[in-house]
Amino acid sequence: MNVAEHLRWIFRHGDSTPAVRYDGTWWSWGELQTISQAVEKALTDSGLAELGEVGVLVRNRPGVIGSILGLLANRRGVVIFNSHLPAAGVAKDVEKLRPAALIVDEADREDEQLLAAVRNTGTLLIGSDGQVLRPRDPAAADREPARQRGTVAFLMLTSGTTGPPKRVPISFDDLDHTLLAHSRIGIALTEEPRFSKAVDILAIPPVNVTGMWQMLTSLSRGRRLVLMDRFVVDQWAALVKEHQVRNGRIPPAAVKMVLDSDVDPADLSTLSAIWAGGAPMDVAVGERFEEVFGVPVLTTYGATEFTGGIAVWSLSDWKEFGPLKRGSVGRPNDGVEIRTVDAETGEPLGPHESGMLLVRTAQRAEAGESTWVRTNDIGRLDEDGFLWVEGRADGVINRGGFKVSPHDVEAALRKHPAVRDVAVVGLPDERLGSVPGALVVAGAAPPEVAELKDLVRASLAPYCVPTVIRFTDEIPRNAGLKVDLAATKQALTAP
């Protein structure tokens, strides 16, 4: 039974079973099915019965989630539009992609810039309740032909931390393989669909693969899901306590926010673990979190191109190897192979040798794609198959021929007790090409810049010392709480 069949079964049998909760109110599977049916009727009545891809302006709202699940159940692809962009950015994205149909939440349906873009493109505008807000203009036919239904499940946005986000196609076959293959960590779809009273929390919107993966792995398995508009420490902790949540899934930045808060450890006592993915996880932060709350932080590693998960910790692996493998992102997911090669020669490397990470998945092999895919990440594997990700090859700062790892500089700066958060990026330099700069969040008494430079100099080569260090109230981050590198550079170079 594939993902679409699972969802159709759940819709048929869910009726009054709670599915998602938003703003204190539970929405049942029956109510989500009503939304799904209304959206499908709007598309069919508008002459789009065979439309393969539908745009969705994504928010963590029940109507939007129900619409996405309904599209997938009906084997229609979802084109992700990011509601966290400024209104002008959303409108520009609509005019660029010219979707035949776009689903929006109540919060967005009156936005003038969006409405202008929809008029210009002739797009069918549908509310997340299935109501047609603006009919399709059949004359607006100068758009690229959509793929056939049942081909592409998502046109998924990448995180956009190193540049403008791109849309990566994820096929229904890839989605099925991925969701059916994760038995090692207990989140694979079962042969027979079923409902669960277990509750998960979606703390980030599903605008990229991390959030979408969390949403799908919960709801396609019949679990209940609490939606948060954005991550707020006190609200999240209260929800964990209220719903006796066992599996926590938040980004590394949120882990640090919880650690820096005054949350009572007793409020998180039901958690068996926190799975943190989407960005690098500072090892010291994870260790400290476990000391304070008694909850291990299990890091994950993935990429949009591979439908999310590449490597992950299972609880059984953590209990057996955890203290011995600190800093690892776990072992390859089921159906995934990882190897390291020399970045220049392409020669395979042995255990504990750092090199370029290559990935091959079972679904690509079955499709006849036997080649390994280069990730642009640097890492190493040990003899037990555990993976350490050490940074991005395209994120290394080339300072006059000397290579500087932002991750290493950040780790050095975090050793100062007053440093609460930090982001290191490359800044343009006429003489050297690029130099490291650091944006730092400090406590009430910020350290001297010279003190921070000395701290880096004490553990790293002199060329790793940031030439610019500035203090800020918070590090710029995107909707998935990844560091926004462009905004960080702007903050470091602004007068």
Query: Where exactly are the structural domains of the chain?
Result: 3-174, 231-393, 396-493
pLDDT of 140 reads: 67
CATH architecture entry for 231-393: 3-Layer(aba) Sandwich (3.40)
Rg (CA), the chain: 23
Q: What is the mean pLDDT of residues 97-115?
A: 95
- Residue whose token pair is 């079962």: 190
Which residue shows structure tokens 């926590």?
A: 248
Q: What is the mean pLDDT of residues 239-246?
A: 98
In sequence order, what E strands does 197-265 have?
Answer: 199-202, 224-227, 247-249
pLDDT at 187: 52
pLDDT of 309 > 50? The answer is: yes
Q: 3 vs 75, which has greater pLDDT?
A: 75
Residue 163's pLDDT band, with cuts at 50, 70 and 90, is very low
Report residue 444's pLDDT band, with 50, 70 and 90 as the boundaries: confident
Say what the pLDDT of residue 253 is.
83
Q: Which residues lie below 8 Å from residue 205, measured CB to CB, with a gap of 6+?
A: 58, 59, 60, 83, 84, 211, 229, 230, 479
SS in 3 state form for 144-199?
A: CCCCCCCCEEEEEECCCCCCCCCEEEEEHHHHHHHHHCCHHHCCCCCCCCCCCCCE
Note whether 3-174 and 231-393 share their fold: yes
> Is 70 exceeded by the pLDDT of residue 159?
no
Query: Once rounded to an integer, what is the mean pLDDT over residues 153-163?
Result: 70
Give the per-residue pLDDT at 365: 53
Report the topology of domain 3-174: Rossmann fold (3.40.50)
The pLDDT assigned to 279 comes to 75
- pLDDT given at position 86: 82
Architecture of domain 396-493: 2-Layer Sandwich (3.30)
Residue 268 pLDDT > 60: yes
pLDDT in tens, 195-238: 999 999 999 888 888 889 899 989 988 899 999 999 999 999 99
In the predicted structure, residue 161 carries a pLDDT above the cut 50: no
Sign of the CA dihedral with 231 first, then 158, 401, and 492 last: negative
Range 121-130 average pLDDT: 96
pLDDT at residue number 181: 62
pTM over 0.85: no
How far, in Å, CA of 224 to CA of 219, rounded? 7
What percentage of residues in the chain have a pLDDT greater than 90? 61
Residue 189 pLDDT > 70? no
Q: Please indicate whether residue 162 or residue 30 has the higher confidence score (pLDDT).
A: 30
Q: Which of 306, 362, 318 is nearest to 337 (CA)?
A: 362
How much is the pLDDT for 116? 96
Indicate whether 129 pLDDT > 80.
Answer: yes
Q: Is the predicted pLDDT of residue 368 greater than 70, yes or no? A: no
Q: What is the predicted pLDDT for the residue at 194?
A: 81
Q: What is the mean pLDDT of residues 404-414?
A: 91
- How many CA atoms lie within 13 Å of 234's alpha carbon, on the beta-carbon side? 1
Going by the DSSP 8-state scheme, the letter that residue 332 receives in this structure is: E
**Report for 23-27, 184-188, 427-431: range of highest mean pLDDT:** 23-27
Structure tokens at 330: 């776990």
Q: Looking at this protein, which amino acid is placed at residue 140?
A: A
Neighbouring C-beta atoms of residue 80, cutoff 10 Å: 25
